[in-house]
Amino acid sequence: MDEFSKPDYEFGGFRLDTTQQILVSPSGEPIPLPSRAFEALRHLVERAGELVERPALMKAVWPRAVVEESNLSQCILTLRRALGEEAGDRRFILTVPGRGFKFVAPVRVVPRIRQRLPQTEVAPPAGLPPADTAPASPGSTAVPPPDARGRPRRWPAIAVAAAALLTLAIGAWLGQRPTAPVTSPAEFEALTDVADSATAPAISPDGHFLAFIRGGGAFISSGQLWLKTLPDGEPVQLTHATSPLYAPSFAPDGTHVVYTSILWPSAWDTWSVPITGGEPVRLLPNASGLTYLGAHEVLYSEFKTGIHLGIVTSGDDRSRHREVYLPAHERGMAHFSYLSPDHVSVLVVEMGRDGDWQRCRLVPFDASSAGRPIGPDGACMSAAWSPDGTWMYFNAFVRGHSHLWRQRFPNGAPQQLTFGPGDEDTVAVAPDGRSLLTSLGQARSALWLHDASGDRALTAEGEVWAPWLSADAHRVYFLTDHNAAGRPELARLDVNSGQRDSLLTGFAVNGFAVSSDEQQVAFGTTQAGSSEIWIAPLDRHVPPRMLARDADEVAFDAAGRVYFRRLGAAENYLHRADPDRAGDVRILETPILEFMTVSPDGNWVIVDRPIEGSQAGSYLTPLHGGEARVLTRGWWPSRWSRDGERLYLEVGESEASQRHGRTAVLPIGRHDPSSDTATLIHSAIMQIPHAEDSLAIGSDPSVYVYVRWEDRRNIYRIPLH
């Protein structure tokens, strides 16, 4: 059977192109699949409605190899993601436990007609030579037969018409062919090969050097800055920082790498390190995400008041300083900016009033307006321009995955460039514009329990975060995206039996709090673009109901009252609601940035606010009169114990470290916890070797659940077509 005899298949709006070996989405976008995943899908589709046993499917996909069943499971997971199946949604592939899989969607077989250019045959008029008449020899003069002399010469006009028909037919044929993908996974070229993680790629102007962060994430990273000579040089470590760093980029002459370093509570500065090695030097204070626009002209983010972060341009000595863009909300933070090649427009990557990444924004470099959202409808985390300014590129988190997109400037439609189970992190464009650089890999997380017997894993698959442990340490609640469908769900796990229940399956949950008696859960979700707080009984005897709109960061006190952050147009405030009564009230008249925790008796809260001499700090604040006192400067998460006697506070992974990783147990007391905050910070009963925001503690601080993260990724070059 030749390639044109193989049929295509259509199901649920998708088309399986067996010749090009791609899946075409209902919108017409090609979805490249790994070869094994494609073979698995074709095998299932060709046997739609039939049970395909696991051994038979493995033999079809790996005919000459012996592989573990986990490889087949990964193939099926890849297909579910490509087909858009969410948790519990089995529109296409049904798992038959213990046996195999069944393709359950209706399938239409589309025979493939042999693709030939259409031929238009036109009979010559009477008196003209037949088509098989030998052509005149080169240099001869063709003379029409005598009986044709003096008649109108219709043949040239007919030939022109035939050519026009042929051109239209060819155009129609070309228009019916599937659009070739812009990228192909088979062409991805690995530029690094590390066992942990390599991310945040930056390439030198001449394309000879690659700078990247190793051992941490791309943003506010715990990793270090490394340099590699392309294509095959050995990576060399450039920094040995004890503070978080991010945003590496090259100086115009390629001799230095600049990057952002954070020293809590107030220093977000740009540093410069030679590519030949040596000590980093601070280039510019209060300047983050810096990129060069010329030999001494730079574009960067600058703090205004509190954590209000805007985009400015100046010389690298801060001369010729000029505002470019400032978010409207005081919690808004414009972290990254990318100037177009013609120096007219700027792509901005920013956080909104809730502290989450927003869509990218396109603003004029002359600051004549606040611009407009641009790119795909998701959380934009990185952007770039093609060298000619024709294309804008984005790294965005959409529907549960972080992939690369592009959009033609200025008003094209966003187009997804990369697909599959792996996630891309950040995007950069090669100097010649013919390829993209990104970090490709996957992050894994699992829940672990620590008690007197040691540490043991509680979960083994799916991504998990935000644990909450019951007082007796028998149940743990947490958020999970089990099938990477982009709809986080709330789950509950019995620590002893391992039984796991899904709660609130009709909601995508982005934060939650469980009442102290475990009777109710308050949770945050997003509906029609608005952040909302809902409350529901855990026994499901009545349906969930909404408490507040434009709100997030929820917590209970011991009386069951609900506290949350109300998101305003320019400022945020702390509110409280009684679930048994309608409405809510503002309980602090001072705007807040973040809501951390409430004491069990409801008398105290810890909130983040702007602070003199710093971007922000945590304030220990009484709710019934009295003075708020600074607990910490910088961003250090905290929460109260259930009995109100202790405070759990993030203090850094080691002494003088700026990186999160240890939680101090502080004897705060119930009566007047603000009496001496300076002494309190140094009175820890014990240190727990895990970050506070990934930790859940029951009644006994020696028994806790924590999240263990593993992020494996490398830098890849992705050719563009």
Q: CA separation (Å) from 488 to 86, 226, 479, 491, 605?
A: 10, 34, 6, 10, 28
- The per-residue pLDDT for 483 is 57
Closest CA to 489 of 90, 87, 89, 94: 87
Instruction: Determine whether 298 is exposed, middle or buried from the number of CB atoms within 10 Å of its CB (0-12, 13-18, 19+).
Output: buried
What is residue 122's predicted lDDT score, i.e. its pLDDT?
35
> Omega of the bond prior to 146 within 30 degrees of 0, cis?
no
**Dist CA 648 CA 694 (whole Å):** 12
Task: Measure the CA angle with vertex 540, ends 534 and 546; round to 5°.
Answer: 15
What does 180-194 look like in DSSP terms, one character per residue? PPS--GGG-EES---
Q: Which amino acid is at 145?
A: P
**In this structure, what token pair is assigned to residue 465?**
């975060």
Q: Which of 467, 457, 469 is nearest to 490 (CA)?
A: 467
Mapped onto helix, strand or coil, the DSSP state of residue 691 is coil
DSSP 94-120: EEETTTEEEE-S--EEEPPPP------
Q: List CB contacts of 460: < 8 A, sequence separation 6 or more.
A: 446
Tell me the Ramachandran region of residue 309: left when phi exceeds 0, alpha when psi lies from -120 to 50, beta otherwise. Answer: beta
The set of residues, in sequence order, having a beta carbon less than 8 Å from that of 190 and lying 6+ positions away, is: 714, 715, 716
Question: What is the token pair recorded at 138?
Answer: 């080169």
pTM summary value: 0.74
Are 593 and 306 in contact by the 8 Å Cβ rule? The answer is yes
Torsion angle, CA of 392/528/93/100, rounded to 10 degrees? Answer: 110
How many of the other CB atoms lie within 10 Å of CB of 180? Answer: 10
* Blockwise average pLDDT, block size 10, the chain, 721 residues: 67 88 86 84 92 91 78 83 74 85 90 45 35 37 35 39 45 46 87 93 97 94 94 94 94 97 84 95 96 96 93 96 96 97 98 95 97 96 97 94 95 93 92 96 91 92 90 95 74 94 90 96 91 94 94 96 95 94 92 95 94 81 90 88 92 71 85 61 83 92 93 93 89
User: 3-state DSSP call for residue 28?
Assistant: coil
Tell me which H or E stretch contains 72: helix 69-82
Give 669-682 pLDDT, tens digit per residue.
765 665 556 667 67
Indicate the residue type of 644: G
* Residue whose token pair is 């022109």: 160
Q: Classify residue 357 by its DSSP letter.
A: B
How much helix, strand and coil, in percent to the nearest 5, is found in the chain?
A: 10, 45, 45
Distance in Å from the first CA to the final CA of the chain? 30
Tokens 């038979």, located at residue: 56
pLDDT, residue 126, reads: 35
Strands (E), 672-703: 686-688, 695-697
Query: What is the edge-to-edge ordering of all strands in the sheet holding 281-284?
Result: 245-250, 256-263, 267-274, 281-284
Both tokens of 537, joined, read 């009984």
CA-to-CA dists, residue 303 to 15, 288, 335, angstroms: 50, 9, 10
Cα–Cα distance list, 443 to 74, 586, 709 (Å):
15, 39, 7
DSSP code for 301? E
Question: Mind spelling out the 3-state secondary structure of 596-662?
Answer: EEECCCCCEEEEEEEECCEEEEEEEEECCCCCCEEEEECCCCEEECCCCCCEEEECCCCCCCCCCCC
Q: Distance of CA 387 to CAs 39, 339, 391, 408, 418, Å?
A: 38, 11, 9, 13, 20
Angle at which helix 54-61 crosses helix 35-46, to 10 degrees, equals 130
Whether the CA torsion 671, 675, 680, 683 is positive or negative: it is: negative
- The enclosing H or E element of 44 equals helix 35-46
Contact between 340 and 325 (Cβ < 8 Å): no
SS3 of 142-155: the string is CCCCHHHCCCCCCH
Residue 19 has which token pair? 């010749």
Sign of CA dihedral 48, 53, 59, 61: positive
